[in-house]
Structure 1
């Protein structure tokens, strides 16, 4: 797959330190060995040193050269606790509570990124998306000018003529249950930028609905219509159009009938779903029925890259997301 080859090459060219806070999870251990061998990133495993080494031994995984940090014994824990307390004291945080919280590997890993002791973090093999977002929003926060954190999947569909030779970007499929029109516009703009910077494609963004260009009238359609107008007003330089049905977005013949004047219809390579239900269902349908590779969910909108995994991920999925996170980190100035 050309995209991942390019991402691997980019990751190798400027290796970044990526922390895996679920350090004792078996898939992370297997992935860490491969990441080290391929030179994609410097991996840091967070967790009990004894447990991690015992599991690695049982799996036959070689962790030589891979850093392991136990928050219970790390000399950085007190420093992180003090910094976390300063970030959250106006929210009622105490120093004792801060110390207890940063000993949680997920919070410790997030603090590593915040304090520039790591360039990015990947979690989710065990934890939920909410578990990742909570410390992310408390500690890393959103990037300047970004109003909402969202997620995207890179969908690689074999033997497919749609999108960019079978590659499409889906958003938001993991984070925002029911975004407002303003949030949906922000998600569309962020995903267009992601498609340009990470996938190296010229984004053509379709705002999906069950209506195409006014064919139906409903409050759900109105939200997508409003989001499209907001996104166009904020970024007139981007090819964003809607509202449109999926077939109008990607099928040329249908686009000529339903949206003949659209520069996006029939050519869309970025699909923005109106809510989390449709996005999550949509990517899984394509993944299973079309035997597509779904790379993600990758987060966008954080000031520094922290990314989620599906709890059903494989060790190879973890390798891919770590490489993507490393490339995202390269763009942080």
Structure 2
């Protein structure tokens, strides 16, 4: 069974309620039909019922819960909650009422208050538009200083990692994380590896240096991030700084980092910045013909995932399944 099939099977084992705020999108409606037909999750669609049924002509979405934000019985509660959450930023009831009319804000509040277990959006909206309400309302997990993203990578016929399965982070959100932020990304990625793939994370903090083979301020950052991550979670199997060959290949690790707890066996790769992470996942995807699923959100207090605007209905189904599995761990 491939990693995505395994995730879908997990999602079916304990169905969660996933809100899809972009009900005006054909791919989203098609994905909703598939998710409900396959029993992957229960679906909540936000928007006007008439318009949703018109756009969904020919699709079976009868099992979906449809909520029109402005006319809902939770509207005033959500407005009050948003004022409370953002009053230190000057939020007023009038501003909050306008924002809660926006399905992305309404959906975020549903997840925050437990009226939905997770949210998937981004087929229509840009990443900043999706993340803004999420970071304002849902925020990060306790002890995690920064939200981040990762890719779930599956490389065919690959002896490295977890039989070719890896978590790459951060490949989509933080351009130049500090040492503290990089440590938080590593801790979040370890959790993603356990929750989504069920694998014991072995984390390599990557650099162009292995254990002092080079000196540079960017190397110092990776070393410091490794130290902080160990303090945050003393039981983590983590090491750095490591070059990627020392992280993946046992024979290279014997020469470059003998005694390393993860050398030659890493399945979670933490990149020093967004340049490295983004380039690496795209190279892996193209040259190794790998499945690269993401960017997936991590470090949030509740599960929300952002889609690419170029996504297919099948991509949305997969991300709903991932979000549902993440919600099972809450």
TM bracket (short chain): over 0.9
TM-score by length of 1: 0.94
Q: What is the TM-score with the length of structure 2 in the denominator?
A: 0.95
Which residue, 175, 184, 188 being the options, matches 1:186?
A: 184
1:161-186 per-position Cα deviation (integer Å, ceiling 9, x unaligned)? 11111100111112212111011111
2: CA distance, partners of 1:246 / 1:281: 14
Within 5 A, what are the aligned runs for 1:24-63? 24-57=24-57, 60-63=58-61
Structure 1 counterpart of 2:289: 291
- Range moving further from structure 2, 43-52 or 201-210: 43-52
- State the partner residue of 2:20: 20
Identify if the C-alpha distance between structure 1 residues 74 and 164 changes in structure 2 by more than 3 Å, giving closer, same or farther.
same
Aligned positions of 1:71-220 closer than 5 A: 71-220=69-218
Map of 2:241 onto structure 1: 243
**Residue matched to 2:299:** 301
Which residue number corresponds to residue 316 of structure 1?
314
CA contact (8 A) 2:3 2:154 kept: no
Q: How far does residue 241 in structure 1 lie from its aligned partner after superposition?
A: 0.7
- Asked if the contact 1:129/1:174 (under 8 Å) is kept, the reply is no
How much has 1:121 moved relative to structure 2?
0.5
CA displacement, residues 130-178 of structure 1 (integer Å, 9 cap, x when unaligned): 2222111111122222222112211011121111111001111122121
What is the rounded CA distance, in whole Å, between the counterparts of 2:271 and 2:134 in structure 1? Answer: 23
Residue 10 of structure 1: aligned partner: 10
DSSP-derived class of the 1:54 partner: helix
Tell me the distance in 2 between the aligned counterparts of 1:229 and 1:54.
56
Structure 1: 5+ residue stretches without partners: none
- Aligned to 1:226, the other structure's residue is in SS state helix
Instruction: Name structure 2 gaps, 5 residues minimum.
Output: none
1:280 and 1:47 mapped to 2: Cα distance? 34
Question: Whole-Å Cα distance in 1 between the matches of residues 91 and 232 of structure 2?
Answer: 37
| 1:271 aligned partner | 269
Structure 1 SS opposite 2:166: strand
Contact 1:24 1:52 in 2 (8 A): yes
What are the equivalent positions in structure 2 for 1:218-229 lying under 5 Å apart? 218-229=216-227
